[in-house]
Structure 1
Amino acid sequence: MSDESFLSWPFFEDRHRALAAALDAWAGENLPVDHGDVDAACKGLVAGLGAGGWLQHSGAGIGEKLDVRSLCLIRETLARHDGLADFAFAMQGLGMGAVSLFGSDVQRAWLARTRAGAAIAGFALTEPASGSDVAATSTLAVRGQGGWVLNGEKIYISNGGIADVYVIIARTGEAPGAKGLSAFLLPADTPGLRVVERIEVIAPHPLAHLALQDVILPETALIGRAGDGFKIAMSVLDVFRSTVGAAALGFARRALDEALARVKSRRIQGAALAELQIVQGHIADMALQIDAAALLIYRAAWVKDQGAARVSREAAMAKLYATEAAQKVIDMAVQLHGGDGVRHGVVVEALYREIRALRIYEGASDVQRVVIARSILG
């Protein structure tokens, strides 16, 4: 059992503690799932998370607010049990984040479906020539035929190929750079949208390279106002960056659990590994990094839940520290397992593959450093 003492911290209310306990019990009965067919596994996980009611936390209905502490607790708990389950939950939230925050009543019909697990969501932001530099987005959306015509490419799109609906950021040209972008709701069966390639990565997830050729969308597909796309995208990331740190925290907690079991049971020269002072030092470092990450994550979530308009600095600190620390914690867990640590199918080996992408997506670590530095320099 992972350490749960953090739930007594003043960041949380009783409802958060009840949520964490209920989800942990559900996850213990339903996770992990078979990852052999990743598409089928993700579809099954979305349906299961929807049936369990957990996806209701992934979006906000009319008059509701996203509770970031709940999002973080759910991602941490799911990641500790099954990285693909965390992915499935996270993408329902990130994919529909723009609709949760800025969507119209018509667009919220899709949100109701993703929260029920009846539809799968995707967020199409990254392009072949613009990853961290969102302002360099080149996918074009021009007015025509009673709405908008979109052309361009998106790459490394999570749930690409299995999503039922995407939020897509495209250039509408109201001004140069970031001020000339808009957000659109794009059903996956829209003519002109196609999957160029499915992308395989070290920790299997459904990813794809998408192409848009003369994709026609009605005026009602525009989320918010034309020209607000960058603001919308950054507002979504402002909420969900803390949750990436929470997923990393879940991976790190599981790695520490596995390392503790290993050093207590593995013997060397007639004594348990845990009796060696050097091993105790490693365990102390792992625990320290986990607690520090948790403090940063739940501070950022708490500040946002208290009504802060933006938490860019706090969220950047949480994501940066938590993902980098989790990489170190998991690497040490692999080291403490010796040869078994790199054996396919061992938990820490899977965690080693899972954690690496978190230091890249939703703002790479060096991008977070820029965000933090700019907030300090003013």
Structure 2
Amino acid sequence: MGWTLSDLPFFDARHRALGERLAALPPPAHPEPRGAEEVARRSRESLRWIAGSGLLDIVVPRADASGARRIDVRALCLVREFFGYHDLLADTMFTMQGIGTAALWLAGTAAQQQRYLDRCRAGESIAALALTEPEAGSDVAALATTARREGDHFVIDGAKTLITNAGIADHYIVIARTGEEPGARGLSAFMLDAGTPGLEVGEPIDLIAPHPLGSLRFDGCRVPADALIGAPGQGFKAAMAVFDIFRPSVGAAGVGVARRALDEALGHVRQRVLFGKPMARLEGVQARIADMATDTETAALAVYRAAWAKDVTGGRCSREASMAKLVGSEAAQRVVDAAVQLFGGRGITKGYMVEQLYREVRGMRIYEGASEVQRMIIARDLLA
């Protein structure tokens, strides 16, 4: 049992080579960490392992001959599918190096890129994006954290919550309201180093599955004016551009989880004897396995179609990205739930992989925009 590259029409030679490279890597899975300190330690260890494997080049792209930095979304999705199959904590650390630097390599100055990107690509610096707030999750336009200009500085006040890598990150990209216009058009993006006076990290937030998560508070937090990423009022645009890139990869991680759950279920029903014969010979079990496999492959097609579209066009692919995130995360939930059902009591017993997957998969339908938000984006695009 192990992850292998699917034979899909959206890959070229470099993606197949990446798939072979990933399949040859030793599985990164470790015993599930317990407690915030162990989660933080494992997160750092995972990032060092990923950096040593050379995979961070995919999410922190180098400049090409023209000076542009472009991400290969199909490669991003392949790596996330691999980590989804083996270790979702490693998937988190891999992905956040991209999400926590994307605004920089999309719109940052040369000085900002030089200061942060190489260290993040080497795994020497941990990145984070501070977007979600206590009263503003999917409704980005309702963000209340402010950044007011005072001479050569901006002063940031407010609070963020459910921030991945809070407390272990070396820097944060903070989305705050600068007020050029009402709503989403009045948001800007800033670089903020950990340890900046006025930045307070709250207690870790304990989820149903291990995740380095916490809250942040800004109390008169002063950053130099050159910490602004891009133009004032472009923070929402930058965040949406990041989601266009990374939302399909959430679906890819879901495909990896689904493949692992399916493999676990196949192994179980082949060995388990029920009513005097192997479970695999029961028609009801066969039907469940067929549905799981079909769900998984359908999700893979949606994910890699969206990734291919983004790579080929280079433009906005919000509808395709939302479809990939929606289909991939929802399919993963169904496939894992089916695996738990096939395992019976063992499926909800600590120590079994499907029990761990059941806890880990649930967040995929919420983070980076809940499934309801993805449906809204898809419908609005179709009705526009």
| Shorter-chain TM band | over 0.9
After superposing the two structures, state which structure 1 stretch, 176-185 or 302-311, moved more. Answer: 302-311
Runs of 4+ in 1 over 3 A off after TM superposition: 1-5
Q: Structure 1 residue 246 and structure 2 residue 229: aligned?
A: no
**What are the equivalent positions in structure 2 for 1:1-378 lying under 5 Å apart?**
1=1, 4=4, 6=6, 8-28=7-27, 30-32=28-30, 35-36=33-34, 37-62=38-63, 63-108=68-113, 109-378=115-384
TM-score when normalising by structure 1: 0.97
SS at match of 2:71: coil
The offset of 1:31, in angstroms, is 2.8
Larger CA deviation: 52-61 vs 148-157 = 52-61
Gaps of 5+ in 2: none
Give distance in 2, aligned partners of 1:9 and 1:52.
Answer: 25
| Mapped partners of 2:168, 2:96: distance in 1 | 12
One-letter amino acid matched to 2:30: P
Give the letter for the 2:23 counterpart. Answer: D
Aligned-pair distance for 1:3? 7.1
1:163 counterpart SS class? coil
Q: Which amino acid in the other structure matches residue 193 of structure 2?
A: P
Deviations 1:137-160 (A, max 9, x none): 110001114121100000000001
CA RMSD after TM alignment: 1.2
SS of residue in 1 equivalent to 2:246? helix
Overall identity of the aligned pairs, in %: 51
Whole-Å separation in 1 of the counterparts to 2:58 and 2:21 = 14
1:263 maps to a residue whose letter is: V
Write the deviation string for residues 91-136 of structure 1: whole angstroms up to 9, x where unpaired. Answer: 1111111112111112212121111100101110000110010001
CA contact (8 A) 2:3 2:23 kept: no
CA distance in 2, matches of 1:276, 1:295: 29
Alignment-mate amino acid for residue 325 of structure 1: A
Residue pair 1:141, 1:149 contacting (<8 A) in 2 also: yes
AA of the residue aligned to 2:29: L
TM-score by length of 2: 0.95
Deviation at 1:4, TM superposition (A): 4.1
Contact 1:39 1:162 in 2 (8 A): yes
Residue 82 of structure 1: CA displacement? 0.8
- Contact 1:33/1:41, CA 8 A, preserved across alignment: no
What is the alpha-carbon distance in structure 2 between the residues aligned to residue 217 and residue 202 of structure 1? 35
Letter in 2 for 1:131: G
Distance, in Å, in 2 between the alignment partners of 1:167 and 1:175 is 21
Q: Find the aligned partners of 2:309 and 2:229 in 1 and give their Cα distance.
A: 26
Deviation track 1:31-82 (CA, whole Å, cap 9, x = no partner) reads: 3355241000000111111121111111222233101001000000011011
- Tell me if the contact between 1:197 and 1:210 (Cα under 8 Å) persists in the aligned partners: no
Query: Are the equivalent residues in 1 in contact too, given 2:69–2:105 (CA < 8 A)?
Result: no
SS in structure 1 opposite 2:44? helix
Q: Per the alignment, in what secondary structure is the counterpart of residue 194 of structure 1?
A: strand
Query: For residue 35 of structure 1, what is the amino acid of its counterpart?
Result: P
Distance 2:32 2:295 in 1: 30
State how many pairs are aligned. 376
CA offsets, 1:8-46, max 9 Å, x none?
322101211111221232242x43355241000000111
Partners of 1:42 and 1:25 lie apart in 2 by 22
Give 3-state SS (helix, strand or coil) of 1:251's partner: helix
Secondary structure at 2:180 match in 1: coil
Q: C-alpha separation between the residues in 1 aligned to 2:263 and 2:192?
A: 42
- Distance in 2 (CA, whole Å) between partners of 1:31 and 1:21 is 19
- Residue 348 of structure 1 and its aligned partner are, at CA, apart by 0.3
